[in-house]
Structure 1
Amino acid sequence: MSKRAVLEVIALDAEDATAAQAGGADRLELVTDMAADGLTPATAAFRAIRAAVDIPLRVMLRLVDGFAAGDLDRLVARARELRDAGADQFVLGFLDPHGGLDLSAVERVVAALDGCSWTFHRAIDHAADRDALRKQLDGLPGLDTYLTAGSATDVDDGLPTLLTEAARGGEPGYQQRILVGGGLRLAHVPRLLAAGIDAFHIGGAARPRGWSGPVSAEAVAEWRKAVDAAV
């Protein structure tokens, strides 16, 4: 049998998490402040969500809007605090002012994760050279996923890049899983699955009332059905 595709849903609180799990989400990305495109949630929020659901949680490590690392001492302290609270999967990614990978910042934060699994997020879509970024990150402990739309805008624009990168899956820098998110629509799913991409990330698509409303279990279930249909 083919393995089940991964459906990851953004959750802001325990209500979101419970609805996402009920709808069939495999994993949650935990953030706060979507006006800043998702920042590190409070440790208390992590604990509440961890108590509410039993699916894996990936916690955002990002203190400021944009892709600069910001206050690294504070970020590392937050990462350690979340680890102490039981977090064991994370999301991060930092660029320098020129769009290059801020490798020293990434390495410092990753060192605080003690080998935990982590996703390099959509900073890759804003990198000056995404191929160079992938090769620089190759071999870092715990890196198993890239969250990407294939472009700085959305999946509509990034689809050719996603398909090209999926075809390079065995090469150094391309062995991590591609998790597609950022303007992802149900109509994209069959083509992505056909290309061997088997992980999908949704935020607003799980919220019929927008970011001011909660995750809808029914909306997540619609996505669950779509990502399972062609696998």
Structure 2
Amino acid sequence: MSKRAVLEVIALDAEDAVAAQAGGADRLELVTDMAADGLTPPARTVAAIRAAVDIDARVMLRLADGFAAGDVERLVRVAGEMREAGADQFVLGFLDPHGGVDLAAVERVVAVLDGCRWTFHRAIDRAADRDALRKQLADLPGLDAYLTAGAAGGVDEGLTTLCAEARRRGEPGYEPQLMVGGGLRLDHVPTLRDAGVDAFHIGGAARPDGWTGPVTAQAVARWRQALDG
């Protein structure tokens, strides 16, 4: 039997976090402003969620829409504030204008995280060369997951890539866990599980009323059941 898959759910506030945990989520991704695809939430929200639930939570480090690092000094400052608010896991990822990884920015931020575990997010789906990006990041401390849909357009478009990458697990650059998210649907799950994918990320799928409504425990439980089935 393959091991239990990780289910990560996007939480915007403590209410979301409580519902996600009740539904069987293993981990949260903490963001604000989904209109910009998820930015760094306020430190008070992070502290409130940490107080409300005891499952792992990864805080997004992203100050503006798009995949450029922007103001790296400010990013570093915000990362420090998040650590002070109790955050001990993170999500980040920055590209240069040519679609290569912005290694200088990533390294600056990771240095402040001080060994905390972190996910490189869907910036990989906009990278000019996914394989090269993975190899460039391979030695950075704390990197233990890639959040990816396999393609910029989402899982439908990226399914073949995801299955191929899952089968490379353990190769240089492919040691971090492959976490699939971005247009992920329940009907994708069997194919991905068969390929060895053992981590899944949902946002809108956990919210029956869309982004204006909260996460519901029932919606999360449906995913938990599908992953455990």
Output the TM-score relative to the length of structure 1: 0.98
The Cα shift of 1:37 comes to: 0.3
Give the corresponding residue for 1:177. 177
Q: Which AA in structure 2 matches 1:20?
A: A
Mapped to 2, the partners of 1:86 and 1:52 lie a distance apart of 12
| Letter matched to residue 89 of structure 1 | Q
Query: Once the two structures are superposed, what CA deviation does each residue of 1:138-190 show, in whole Å capped at 9, x if it has no partner?
Result: 01000000000000001011000001111111210011100000000000111
| Separation (CA, whole Å) in 2 of partners of 1:177 and 1:97 | 27
The aligned counterpart of 1:124 is 124
Q: Which residue of 2 aligns with 1:28?
A: 28
Q: Which runs of 4+ in 1 moved over 6 A?
A: none
Provide closer, same or farther for how the CA distance between residues 66 and 27 of structure 1 changes in structure 2, counting only shifts above 3 A: same
Unpaired segments of 5 or more residues in structure 2?
Answer: none
Aligned partner of residue 19 in structure 2, secondary structure = helix
Match of 2:114 in 1: 114
The alpha-carbon deviation at position 13 of structure 1 amounts to 0.2
Q: Pairwise mapping of residues 133-152 of structure 1 onto structure 2 (< 5 A)?
A: 133-152=133-152
1:68-217 map, 5 Å? 68-217=68-217
Partner Cα distance (2:220, 2:168) in 1: 30
Identical amino acids, percent of aligned pairs = 77
1:84 deviates by 1.5
Where 1:112 maps in the other structure, the secondary structure is helix
- In 2, Cα distance between the equivalents of 1:24 and 1:170? 28
* Aligned counterparts of 1:171 and 1:26: Cα–Cα separation in 2: 26
Shift of 1:85: 1.8
Shift of 1:213: 0.4
Partner residue, 1:48: 48
Shift of 1:2: 4.0
- Looking at structure 1, the residues matched to 179 and 170 of structure 2 have their Cα atoms a distance apart, in angstroms, of 16
What's the Cα RMSD here?
Answer: 0.7
CA distance in 2, matches of 1:46, 1:186: 29
List alignment gaps of at least 5 residues for structure 1. Answer: none
- 1:166 and 1:104 mapped to 2: Cα distance? 28
- 3-state SS of the aligned residue for 1:164? helix
Q: Distance in 2 between matches of 1:86 and 1:17?
A: 15
Of 180-189 and 166-175, deviating more is 166-175
Count of aligned positions? 229
- The one-letter code sitting in structure 1 at the alignment partner of 2:201 is H
What letter is aligned with 1:26?
D
Q: Post-superposition shift, 1:82?
A: 0.8
Q: Whole-Å Cα distance in 2 between the matches of residues 79 and 160 of structure 1?
A: 35
